[in-house]
Amino acid sequence: MKEDWKKLTEGIERALKLRTSPVGIRFVADEGELKSIERLRIAKKISFTCQMITAARTYGATTAITAGNTSAVCGNVLGLCDTPEKVKNGTLRNVVWCKTLEDAKKFEDAIPRVPLGKYKAVLIGPQAAAAFEPNMVLFYGNPAQMIIMINALQFEDYERLQFYCVGETSCSDLIAQCYNSGKPSLTIPCFGERRFGHAQDDELAIAIPASLVGKVDRNLEALAKKGIRYPIAYYGTQVDPSLGLPPAYHEILNITEHVKAQKK
């Protein structure tokens, strides 16, 4: 298992030249499972989910988030604790994020959550270390890296992907949405994740079900052979784009003669 995950995640890292490491997420129903995880840190202080993700992707830390070491806002998104009444009724969101209590209640109702009470903890760690078998893997990157990853997902078994944005609490669109839908989930890191989790201005985040990570790795390689790779080479805004297209396109687009003339 360890060698497979190391190969897969490092292959994707290398192909996309990611700045930080892919992060594994595992939902734990039995807290006893935590004892078997090597070098696991269980924080006693309060930490946000985004802080633990950044510790994993930047510093290589493997941590466990529980109802006892995170805020109620993070904990209820991950299904580790119930939503407090003053969160549920919109009071919390009305303080900053919504003009009216009614809007704040709509906001709260829209947030995807992992089913309450199903799990006792959530493991977060650098997936290349393969300390545990993940349910999903998180990748952070710039928009160009993300679109190539999406291209790899769509290269076989194509489907149009849909992504969501609740606004603040991007971890819900990232982790809970992926968990509930079983599909990749791309999101924009929120204010909180930037302030406390240090997500950078150019970063997006995508959660990919563990079963699809191998598909991404395989198809990134296939696309690279076709010239689709990161970084994307610029061709220029004031030149004829015909010469920059793959030769196979020329006949399909009826521009073969045009391209020949341009090469003379």
Specify whether the backbone of 40 is left (phi greater than 0), alpha (psi in -120 to 50) or beta: beta
What is the pTM assigned to this prediction? 0.94
* Coil vs helix vs strand at 133: coil
Same domain, 227 and 242: no
Same domain, 243 and 229: no
Q: What is the pLDDT of residues 100-123, one digit of tens each?
A: 999 999 999 999 999 999 999 999
User: 169 is written with which tokens?
Assistant: 């609490």
Cβ atoms 185, 173 nearer than 8 A? yes
Residue 138 to residues 34, 50, 184, Cα–Cα distance (Å): 20, 11, 10
Specify whether the backbone of 79 is left (phi greater than 0), alpha (psi in -120 to 50) or beta: left
Same domain, 59 and 18: yes
Q: What's the number of domains the chain is made of?
A: 2
HSE-up of 5 (CA within 13 Å, CB side)? 22
Same domain, 29 and 155: yes
Residue 2 pLDDT greater than 80, yes or no: no
pLDDT band, residue 99 (cuts 50/70/90): very high
Give me the pLDDT at residue 264, please: 76
Same domain, 120 and 214: yes
Q: Where are the alpha helices (DSSP H) in 60-190?
A: 72-77, 85-88, 91-96, 101-110, 143-154, 170-171, 177-181
Residue 209, C-beta contacts closer than 8 angstroms, at least 6 positions apart: 135, 136, 178, 182, 183, 184
Question: What is the span of the domain harbouring residue 255?
Answer: 238-264
Same domain, 131 and 79: yes
Q: What is the pLDDT of residues 172-197, one digit of tens each?
A: 999 999 999 999 999 999 999 999 99
Same domain, 249 and 164: no
> Average pLDDT over the chain, rounded to whole?
94
Q: Is the peptide bond before 231 cis (omega within 30 degrees of 0)?
A: yes
